[in-house]
C-alpha cells in the first residue's frame, strides 16, 4: 500500500477497508479515486474471504467534501468534457454502491457533502457521529444535487428533502437519521472500538449485529420541530411560491430559509425543485442517476456553475452574479432544457421508456 495513493486499501480480518486519502482537500473526489473505488468493489465482491467493505476518510475533518469542483470549473472554462466523463463513472459508482451485495459500511464522520454523500449514503450501513455535517449544497454554486442526491432527498419524509435541496443546509446526526441519509449513530469516541469489533466478524450477519450493538441514541436534532412549516411551505408548486410561504409564515426559521434560498442560483433552484419531484416519480435510483446526468450535462454548459465556483471557492468574494439573476427570469423552457434526452451520450443505467 502506497500511503500517497488517493484511495488506501487494506484488510482487517475479513473487512476490506477503503480510505479516501486526500486529507488536505478534505478528501474531495477526483476521477482517479472513483476508478480506484470501483476496482476495489469489484475485487471485494469476488473475494470470498471478504464479508464487508468499510469506507472512511483520512484526516480529522471529515469523510469527503464532495467532488473537485475547482477542477470542474477549469474544465468548463477550457471547453473540455473530462468532467462529464468523471460524472459518468461517478454516478455508475453510486449505483454500484447501492447494489453492492455485501455490507457496505460508511463512517460518515465529520463533513460529508455532495459527492461524499454519493459514496456513503447509498451504502447499506451508514453511520453518523456527533461531528457529522451532511449536505447537498449545490444550489449555492450554480449546480444541482447529483450523485443520487435527488433520489435520497426525494425519499425523505414529507418535504424535508426539498428543504435541504433548495437551501443546501447541512444536517447533523439526528436529522440525517430522520431524513433517511443514515442508519445508526455511534459516538466518535466509539468508532475505533467499532472498527476493531468489525475485524472479528466472519459473516455479513455478524457485521450488521456488531454495528447495532455499538449504536447509541443520537443527540437531538432540529428538523423534527420544524416539520409543520417545512411540509406546508415546500409543498407549493413553484420556488417563488415556496419563498413567499416561508417569508409569510411567521416562524423566524422559515423566514431565514426564505433568505437562504434567495441567495442561491435562480436557475439551479428551479431545476432542483423539478429534479426532486421527478425523482419521486421515477422511483428507481438508476433512472434518477440517468436524469441527474442530463441535468449535470446541461448545467456544465451554462454560466452559473463557473460563476458559482468562482465566487465560493476561487475568489471567495461570496458575491456570485447569476444569469438570470432572479427567479422570475428563469423560464419553463430554461428548466426543461436540463431534462432533455442526450441521445447517444445518455448515462444509460436504466432502460429508456418505450415510445407511446
For residue 42, the SS3 value is helix
Interacting residues of 294 by C-beta distance below 8 A, sequence separation 6+: 338, 339, 340, 341, 342, 346, 347
Find the catalytic residue in 57, 62, 66, 67: 67
Residues 6+ apart with CB under 8 A from 162: 153, 234, 242, 273, 276
Annotation says 248 is catalytic: no
Q: What is the rounded distance in angstroms from the CA atom of residue 323 to the CA atom of residue 79? A: 19
Q: Given 68, 75, 146, 183, which residue is catalytic?
A: 146
Tell me if residue 146 is catalytic. Answer: yes
* Active-site residue (options: 68, 75, 90, 138): 138
Strand bridging mode 133-135 / 111-113: parallel
C-alpha cell at 38: 470501483
d(CA 162, CA 230): 9
DSSP letters spanning 141-156: GT----TTHHHHHHTS
Helices (H) then strands (E): counts for the chain: 16, 9
* Residue 148 annotated among the catalytic residues of the structure: no
Of the residues 115, 118, 149, 154, only one is catalytic, namely 115
How far is Cα 82 from Cα 321, in angstroms, rounded to an integer? 25
- Per the CB < 8 A criterion, the answer to whether 147 and 179 are in contact is no
115 is catalytic: yes
Catalytic site residues?
67, 115, 138, 146
Amino acid at each position: 500500500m502506497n500511503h500517497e495513493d488517493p484511495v488506501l486499501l487494506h484488510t482487517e480480518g475479513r473487512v476490506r477497508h477503503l480510505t479516501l486519502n486526500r486529507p488536505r482537500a478534505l478528501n474531495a473526489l477526483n476521477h482517479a479515486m472513483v476508478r480506484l473505488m470501483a476496482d476495489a468493489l469489484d475485487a471485494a465482491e469476488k473475494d470470498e474471504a471478504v464479508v464487508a467493505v468499510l469506507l472512511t476518510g483520512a484526516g480529522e475533518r471529515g469523510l469527503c467534501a464532495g467532488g473537485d469542483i475547482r477542477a470542474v470549473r477549469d474544465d468548463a472554462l477550457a471547453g473540455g468534457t473530462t468532467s462529464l466523463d468523471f460524472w459518468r463513472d461517478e454516478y455508475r459508482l453510486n449505483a454500484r454502491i447501492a447494489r453492492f451485495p455485501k455490507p457496505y459500511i460508511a463512517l460518515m464522520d465529520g463533513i460529508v457533502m455532495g459527492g461524499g454523500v454519493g459514496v456513503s449514503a447509498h451504502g447499506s450501513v451508514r453511520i453518523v457521529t456527533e461531528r457529522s455535517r451532511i449536505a447537498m449544497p449545490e444550489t449555492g454554486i450554480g449546480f444541482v444535487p447529483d450523485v443520487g442526491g435527488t433520489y435520497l432527498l426525494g425519499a425523505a419524509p414529507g418535504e424535508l428533502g426539498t428543504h435541504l435541496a433548495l437551501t443546501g443546509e447541512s444536517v447533523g446526526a439526528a436529522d440525517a437519521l430522520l431524513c433517511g441519509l443514515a442508519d445508526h449513530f455511534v459516538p466518535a469516541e466509539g468508532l475505533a472500538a467499532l472498527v476493531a469489533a468489525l475485524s472479528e466478524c466472519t459473516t455479513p450477519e455478524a457485521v450488521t449485529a456488531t454495528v447495532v450493538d455499538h449504536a447509541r441514541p443520537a443527540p437531538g436534532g432540529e428538523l423534527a420541530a420544524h416539520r409543520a412549516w417545512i411540509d406546508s411551505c415546500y409543498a407549493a408548486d413553484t420556488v417563488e411560491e415556496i419563498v413567499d410561504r416561508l417569508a409569510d409564515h411567521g416562524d423566524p426559521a422559515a423566514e431565514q430559509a426564505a433568505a437562504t434560498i434567495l441567495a442561491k442560483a435562480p436557475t439551479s433552484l428551479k431545476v432542483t425543485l423539478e429534479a426532486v419531484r421527478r425523482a419521486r416519480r421515477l422511483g428507481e435510483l438508476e433512472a434518477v442517476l440517468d436524469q441527474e446526468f442530463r441535468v449535470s450535462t446541461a448545467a456544465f454548459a451554462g454560466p452559473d456553475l463557473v460563476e458559482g465556483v468562482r465566487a465560493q471557492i476561487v475568489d471567495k468574494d461570496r458575491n456570485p452574479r447569476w444569469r438570470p439573476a432572479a427567479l422570475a427570469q428563469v423560464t419553463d423552457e430554461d428548466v426543461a432544457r436540463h431534462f432533455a434526452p442526450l441521445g447517444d451520450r445518455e448515462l444509460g443505467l436504466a432502460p429508456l421508456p418505450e415510445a407511446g
